[in-house]
């Protein structure tokens, strides 16, 4: 009897831990320059004049960094301006890329910036999209099962907190070109993306199907 009670308590503890995964805060530099560049991005790319560079999340975009370590991935996002950016080249924003979350290969979730502040991670949709980056993604370092589980967990948490309508892989972003959420003003500003792939993205969506996310528009 005592033994089975112990097993029961242990099960609750394991389930309890699994449903309350720690999210470690490692904020990227968000100084006055980054705030100004983010507001400028919202204005120039989307025509949105805002007092603060805030967003109401309606979408989650999954990514991989293609960078082989947490430290180097963090460093890539930390500086406010793009490397090699020249302020004299107008029309191209100097705001550095970033994401709200960064998931290491071991499944540890790090938060880089508040969910309601705009990060530059997906053309056309940054004004409404939370970004989740995953360390790795190359042939030498594919995404792991622990990362998949962490992404599933994080999407569940975020979809419980915000009116999330879509969960997409970065490789799907151009499907939104004719969607009301698409605000990029320049028809020539596009990049080709393959991250994080259909398999990973579908598994994250499938595990969270209770939220009834809308299907990605067809092209």
Sheet containing 109-111: give its strands across: 23-25, 109-111, 101-103, 129-134, 59-62, 166-169
Residues whose CB falls within 8 Å of the CB of residue 118, separated by 6 or more in sequence, listed in order: 38, 41, 42, 53, 54, 55, 126, 127
Task: Compute CA 120 distance to the chain's CA centroid, rounded to the nearest angstrom.
Answer: 10
Shortest approach of Zn ion to residue 187 CB, angstroms?
Answer: 21
Nearer to Zn ion by Cβ, of 34 and 171: the residue is: 171
Shortest approach of Zn ion to residue 82 CB, angstroms?
Answer: 15
Nearer to Zn ion by Cβ, of 172 and 195: the residue is: 195
Q: Which stretch binds Zn ion (CB under 5 A): 28-36, 55-63, 102-110, 148-156?
A: 55-63
User: Which of 129, 195, 204, 213 is in the footprint of Zn ion by CB under 5 A?
Assistant: 195
Interface with Zn ion in residues 155-194 (CB under 5 A): 170
Residue 109 DSSP SS3: strand
Nearer to Zn ion by Cβ, of 18 and 144: the residue is: 144
Nearer to Zn ion by Cβ, of 19 and 138: the residue is: 138
Shortest approach of Zn ion to residue 7 CB, angstroms?
Answer: 43
* Residue 63 contacts Zn ion per CB under 5 A: yes
> Exposure pattern of 108-121 as b/e (b: 16+ CB <10 Å)?
bbbbbbebebbbbb
Residues 65, 142: Cα–Cα separation, whole Å: 11
Shortest approach of Zn ion to residue 6 CB, angstroms?
Answer: 46
Shortest approach of Zn ion to residue 102 CB, angstroms?
Answer: 12
Q: Are 100 and 60 a contacting pair, CB within 8 Å?
A: no
Contact residues for Zn ion, defined by CB under 5 A: 63, 170, 195
């Amino acid at each position: 009897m005592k033994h089975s009670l112990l097993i029961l308590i242990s099960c609750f503890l394991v389930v309890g831990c699994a449903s309350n995964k720690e999210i470690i805060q490692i904020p990227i530099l968000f100084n006055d320059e980054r705030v100004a560049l983010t507001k400028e991005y919202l204005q120039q790319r989307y025509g949105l004049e805002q007092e603060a560079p805030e967003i109401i999340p309606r979408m989650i975009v999954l990514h991989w960094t293609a960078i082989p370590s947490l430290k180097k991935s963090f460093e890539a996002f930390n500086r406010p301006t793009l490397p090699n950016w020249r302020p004299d080249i107008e029309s191209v924003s100097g705001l550095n890329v970033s994401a709200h979350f960064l998931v290491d290969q071991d499944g540890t979730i790090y938060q880089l910036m508040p969910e309601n502040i705009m990060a530059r991670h997906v053309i056309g949709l940054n004004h409404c999209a939370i970004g989740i980056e995953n360390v790795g993604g190359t042939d030498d370092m594919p995404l792991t099962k622990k990362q998949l589980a962490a992404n599933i967990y994080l999407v569940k948490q975020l979809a419980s907190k915000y009116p999330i309508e879509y969960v997409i892989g970065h490789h799907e972003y151009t499907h939104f070109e004719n969607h009301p959420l698409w605000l990029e003003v320049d028809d020539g500003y596009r990049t080709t993306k393959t991250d994080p792939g259909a398999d990973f993205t579908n598994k994250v969506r499938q595990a969270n199907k209770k939220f009834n996310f809308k299907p990605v528009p067809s092209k």
